[in-house]
Amino acid sequence: MIYQVSKKGHKHKLPHGKENKHLEDAIKNRIQYFKRVEEMMDGHESMQKSITFRKQLLDKRTQANYQNEYEKLRGILAHNVVPEQTRDRLNNRVTNLVKLGAQALPTTATT
């Protein structure tokens, strides 16, 4: 089969069936390409969300650990007889924990 070639635009005129086949293949390939790109973008997005979520969990756990240690030290200082050197060290640690984000929670007095 001989194809007609136009000298002006250098356009190849394929027979009707083959022209459509090439067009269909090109569209299919493009759709598959865009699906692949979309899957890659979704994968990157979900990976970023996972990293952010994990970091938030670790930060909350660290904050809770600081808060628990702070409350434990406050309890030791308030209710026990502690030597002066140990009291100074505990007070320094309490100060450091406050800088790291531990907070003094309001206590309720029971009567």
Q: Domain ranges in the chain?
A: 12-100
Distance, CA of 61 to CA of 67 (rounded, Å):
10
Rounded mean pLDDT, 42-54 = 94
pLDDT over threshold 90, residue 99: no
pLDDT over threshold 50, residue 108: no
Distance, CA of 82 to CA of 88 (rounded, Å):
10
Distance, CA of 1 to CA of 15 (rounded, Å):
9
Distance, CA of 64 to CA of 71 (rounded, Å):
11
Q: Which residues contact 88 (CB under 8 A, 6 or more apart)?
A: none
Rounded mean pLDDT, 58-62 = 92
pTM tops 0.75: no
* Minimum mean pLDDT range among 13-22, 86-95, 98-107: 13-22
